[in-house]
Amino acid sequence: MAMSFDVIVIGAGPGGYVAAIRCAQLGLNTACIDSQAKQNGGQKGMPSLGGTCLNIGCIPSKALLDSSEQYHNIIHQFPAHGINADNVTVDIAKMQARKDDIVSGLTGGIAQLFKANKVTSVHGHGRVMQDNTVNVLDDSGQVIQTLSAREIILAPGSVAIELPDMPFDHEFIVDSTGALSFEQVPKRLGIIGAGVIGLELGSVWNRLGSEVVVLEALDDFLAVADQQIAREAKKQFTKQGLDIRMGAMVKKADLGAGGVQVSYTQKDKHSHIEVDRIVVAVGRRPATVGLLSPDCGVAINQGGFIEVDDQCKTNVPHIWAVGDAVRGPMLAHKSSEEGVAVAERIAGGVGHVDFNCVPWVIYTSPEIAWVGQTEKQLNKQGIEIKTGSFPFAATGRARAMEQPIGLVKMIADKHTDRLLGVHMIGPHVSELIGECVLAMEYQASSEDIARTMHAHPTLSEATHEAALAVDKRAIHKVN
């Protein structure tokens, strides 16, 4: 007999574990199936909740970003403060151990939350069968358990895309997971892809001493971001030493005595670079392989994404899907909000996710963050807009921090003044963007932010002044 639950969640990443906890809070008997195992340390191979984000993505990358930035600042920023340090060294093993401790603490915290909320945690690969049953498989593909439920939530997450002519060997040619576990600083590091993951990983190892070359197939740098912000970002990253080559189509990688030789074309010219290691960061795809039996009926499109409606319902009654495996941006917080919304709907309530107010953040230095639409997107739609911007260099706080870099840009409807997008590059903008997400969620105008008092001296004054600049009445810059 199969064990029966009200809800089975497949996947314990930010979408799945949050959905499971919320279902349990709403009184639903819930099980969560997940196959993730610890990557490092004495407990390697043991179950580890949190999905890609906590185990091999968002959290470990931010830990290394922070460590590498501290090292970089000691050498490059501290002297401006009158603080001098000689013979500064970095202990990569200790840095990696710190990262692993942070991951263990957070993943262990989810296990405790499951226990406290009475969520049944099942380790293995979940596979949806007919009639709302789920087989749990081990790593060899053998069925070790069968569960059934009234409702099923699919939250399998995503995996790194592997290039056809450049398979991962997990030593010299690696994905983002491998790039988070280097035991020493590569002298020469190649990054394929100048997206969020590529730029963050490139920043980590560049700060620690690598000569980093980033090869990007597109001609436009950070095409997903506002063009003004992207131009500033490329300028700053180039100053830091990242060698960013746009329009570079990678053809193949060959292993040799000197490392990895990567061949690519740029403006019809054939070129190559030789590096110690190459990180392939060309995007991610839904982790839906093996998730569904052929006869369960759940529709998947050609890209591998599970097809859902606006409520996250699949085409099969009582089966839902959230997160990276469905439409929309592959962002942890988007996944979590969908997970909560689905739990609320299953329990008979109302779920809400506003896709117009999803914040994006790139945790480089300077950080990049935005919410809403870009100026280019709005112009394409024929929407009349007005914009205002303000540089961090004109704020006392950024100067005192020795980080007078970047700007805040605000876009509003020309006629109604409603906020349509806010774009930032600068210090701690990952935190500053929250105010603007809330403002847009409340359908605020730029005038609303302009009339809101902001503390002095703070970085948030740049947001205030950008709002004032929309109507050409900024105080601390010439309009």
What six digits make up the tokens of 430?
């990952």
What whole-number distance in Å separates Cα of residue 174 and Cα of residue 152? 34
The angle subtended at Cα 83 by Cα 79 and Cα 89, nearest 5°, is 80
Using DSSP's 3-state secondary structure scheme, residue 42 falls into coil
Cis ω before 457 (30° cut-off from 0) = yes
Tell me which residue of 344, 375, 327, 304 sits closest to 151, measured CA to CA: 344
> If you ran DSSP here, which 8-state letter would residue 119 be given?
P
194-208 in b/e form (b: 16+ CB < 10 A) is bbbbbbbbbbbbbbb
Q: Annotated catalytic sites, by residue?
A: 456
Amino acid letter for position 206: N
Percent of residues in the chain assigned helix, strand, coil, to nearest 5: 35, 30, 40
Is-contact 96 68, C-beta < 8 A? no
What six digits make up the tokens of 303?
């890209």
Using DSSP's 3-state secondary structure scheme, residue 80 falls into helix
